[in-house]
């Protein structure tokens, strides 16, 4: 089966973005970087495209985007609150919080930082429990597992 590699067009700061993302995720690395030359069309030495890996997933970055929109986002599946807090805190640095586990990072890329427990609670076969978890999630920015479980327990 062929590999599928997401390509991300960055409006600005491709090299900085790659350094940032590879510092956030384990099992990450920077691959080949292609730079503009004196022939242009960009500033000589500036990265025009690059390959990088985030937690084992290969990406291609291209400089000269249009800005990102929420039409494309990445979900970080977390096993516990410590992981949620780590990825939320790092990715939102210089960015913007949204709701329901969504944020936009400093480069304008949208992320969903979601604990596995949220998925379990909103898929509960008891509709009242699933609704209580969903209602609690809708009131959150960062997802807090203890608050989800409390909402379900107090329904």
Does the pLDDT of residue 1 top 80, yes or no?
no
Specify whether 72 is located in the same domain as 62: no
39-52 tens-digit pLDDT = 988 889 999 999 99
- Please give the sequence-ordered ranges of beta strands (E in DSSP) within 41-109, or none if there are none: 47-54, 57-63, 73-78, 96-97, 102-104
Degrees to nearest 5, angle at CA 141 with 135 and 142: 105
**What is the mean predicted confidence (pLDDT) over 112-137?**
97
Of 17, 35, 66, at which residue does a domain stop? 66
Number of compact structural domains in the chain: 2
Interhelix angle 145-153/81-92, nearest 10 degrees: 130
Predicted confidence band of residue 66 (pLDDT cuts 50, 70, 90) = confident
Could you give the count of Cα atoms lying within 13 Å of 26 in the half-sphere of its Cβ?
A: 2
3-state secondary structure of 32: strand
For the segment 132-151, the average pLDDT, to the nearest whole number, is: 97
Q: What is the pLDDT of residues 88-107, one digit of tens each?
A: 999 999 999 999 999 999 99
Q: Which CATH number characterizes residue 95's domain?
A: 3.10.180.10
Phi-psi region of 95 (alpha: psi -120 to 50; beta: other; left: phi over 0): beta
pLDDT confidence band for 78 (50 / 70 / 90):
very high
The chain-wide mean pLDDT, for the chain, equals: 95
Domain residue limits at 117:
68-155
Q: Is 36 helix (H, G, I), strand (E, B) or coil?
A: coil
The model's pTM: 0.92
pLDDT at 65 over 90: no
**Exposure of 101 by Cβ count < 10 A (0-12 exposed, 13-18 middle, 19+ buried)?**
buried
């Amino acid at each position: 089966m062929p590999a599928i590699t997401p390509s991300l067009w960055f409006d600005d700061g491709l090299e900085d973005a790659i350094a940032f993302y590879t510092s956030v995720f384990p099992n990450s690395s920077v691959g080949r970087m292609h730079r503009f030359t004196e022939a242009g069309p960009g500033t000589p030495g500036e990265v025009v495209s690059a390959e990088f890996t985030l937690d084992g997933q290969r990406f291609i970055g291209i400089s000269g985007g249009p800005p990102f929109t929420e039409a494309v986002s990445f979900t970080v599946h977390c096993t516990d609150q410590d992981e949620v807090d780590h990825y939320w805190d790092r990715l939102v640095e210089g960015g913007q919080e949204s709701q329901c586990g969504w944020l936009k990072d400093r480069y304008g890329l949208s992320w969903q930082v979601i604990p596995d427990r949220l998925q379990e609670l909103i898929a509960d076969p008891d509709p009242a429990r699933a609704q209580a978890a969903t209602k609690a999630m809708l009131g959150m920015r960062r997802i807090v597992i203890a608050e989800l479980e409390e909402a379900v327990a107090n329904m």
